[in-house]
Copies of this chain bind each other. A is one copy, B any other.
């Protein structure tokens, strides 16, 4: 791959928005790009040449009195071939075809049309994203395809065959503090495909961790080689859509993908040392453990939280995930007893501080004591918001979270912060606030102990295999 050349596709200085018209249904993507603040030039193109959102429009890409680097096509499927021909004439480098109704659809002639548009692009020297995709999100180039995507850049590169999944992923991750280098929604992959993007992200210096949602690949051997090579240089989190017969039917209709054999995929993802996950939320859980936590020196964990029953279940989950909970030494127990009385608490490992919601200082002090114990290389803190006689709402949770965050920062060990059981409006607001606080502090936040532990377990297995 010519990295520089491929990378230049994502750095347009001018964009043609083909199909953007005064009708709001056809100008929403233009609006998104304008609001995000793209600093290059934007030229709407529509059949009547009507001005859109204050921008002068043209009736064809060819008529634009300027160079055009990138074209975004929101036109009927049948019109795409002509537009790509115009793009070729205009020496457009990259075109995204947002439009669906090609090879993935049951529509007559859809596959033939996809081939035609692909061949037109190849012949004309235009690289193609899609059809049936959202395009790319690249904060550094001030380009996005959805409202409320973060403006700041970050270390995660994403290739995502589903536009919807990509948007869920960016939002789920953003609220927990993750930022992205580039997110590419590539749909039917008529031209630019999973292998191109993996190869690109492997080399891309802005990308430290790769997340891939893939429904199917066209050239298995090539993909397999590139996946192995990529996973040697950067962690690759893979969510395979259509991983069994059920999803495979859907994948064919969604992006025209042949999902491939379950067994072949399982063994490829394992052999290539990828981090395999099964949901969008799990992509985020695992990325957080990779990015916001130094590799723990061992599987010895300490669990410290509020709630005895929760402590019992957390310990069960830890054991299931292959983490160990070494016994707390007498010295540490003794120090804890100086902070708070023992009745109703557990001074073993897990450590249960019971209902000490109103005593943030004592909670923080206890975390520091446990954090100072050399027997544990990993800390899991947890507290529930609706597990006591009183609901812990926004007001009460903030000083507690501040104290816990402060203590965790001071301890400096790899730590997962868990806040769970937010059911009411008030507790939900508190939950979102603590999530934000953790995101800002660069701490990995999880909504349940099993999710935290499962992610950490996967990441530790990955580190072990990578040695």
Residue ranges of A at the interface with B (Cβ–Cβ < 8 Å): 28-29, 32, 77, 99-101, 105-107, 132, 134, 145-148, 160-168, 171-172, 174-175, 213, 215, 239, 241-247, 249-251, 253-255, 278-281, 307-320, 325, 327, 333, 342-344, 346-350, 352, 354-355, 384, 386-391, 421, 423-425, 428-429, 432, 448, 450
Q: Is B250 in contact with A386, judged by CB distance below 8 angstroms?
A: no
Residue in contact with A308 in the complex, picked from B29, B254, B318, B425, CB distance below 8 Å: B254
Q: Which residue among A164, A251, A342, A388 has the maximum number of chain B CB atoms within 10 Å of its CB?
A: A164
Known: A168-B384, A246-B319, A316-B247. A147 touches B101 (CB 8 A): no
Q: Is B344 in contact with A309, judged by CB distance below 8 angstroms?
A: no
Known: A168-B421, A389-B167. A315 touches B348 (CB 8 A): no
Known: A146-B389, A450-B279. A316 touches B168 (CB 8 A): no
Q: Is A325 in contact with B246, judged by CB distance below 8 angstroms?
A: yes
Known: A242-B316, A315-B246. A164 touches B309 (CB 8 A): yes
Residues of B within 8 A of A310 (CB): 162, 164-165, 168
Name 19 A/B residue pairs within 8 A (Cβ), A-sorted.
A28-B389, A32-B389, A100-B343, A101-B342, A105-B344, A145-B389, A161-B309, A164-B307, A164-B309, A165-B307, A165-B313, A168-B309, A168-B387, A171-B423, A239-B313, A244-B316, A249-B327, A249-B348, A280-B313
Residues of B within 8 A of A254 (CB): 308-309, 311-312, 346, 352
Q: How far is the CA of A384 from the CA of B166 in the complex (A)?
A: 12
Known: A147-B389, A315-B246. A347 touches B100 (CB 8 A): no
Q: How far is the CA of A179 from the CA of B31 in the complex (A)?
A: 47
Residues of B within 8 A of A171 (CB): 386, 391, 421, 423-424
Q: How far is the CA of A310 from the CA of B281 in the complex (A)?
A: 12
Residues of B within 8 A of A148 (CB): 391, 424
Q: Is A253 in contact with B342, judged by CB distance below 8 angstroms?
A: no
Residues of B within 8 A of A28 (CB): 389-390
Task: Report A234 CB to chain B, min CB distance, Å.
Answer: 23
Residues of B within 8 A of A344 (CB): 100-101, 105, 132
Residues of B within 8 A of A145 (CB): 389
Q: How far is the CA of A160 from the CA of B309 in the complex (A)?
A: 10
Q: How far is the CA of A2 from the CA of B175 in the complex (A)?
A: 55
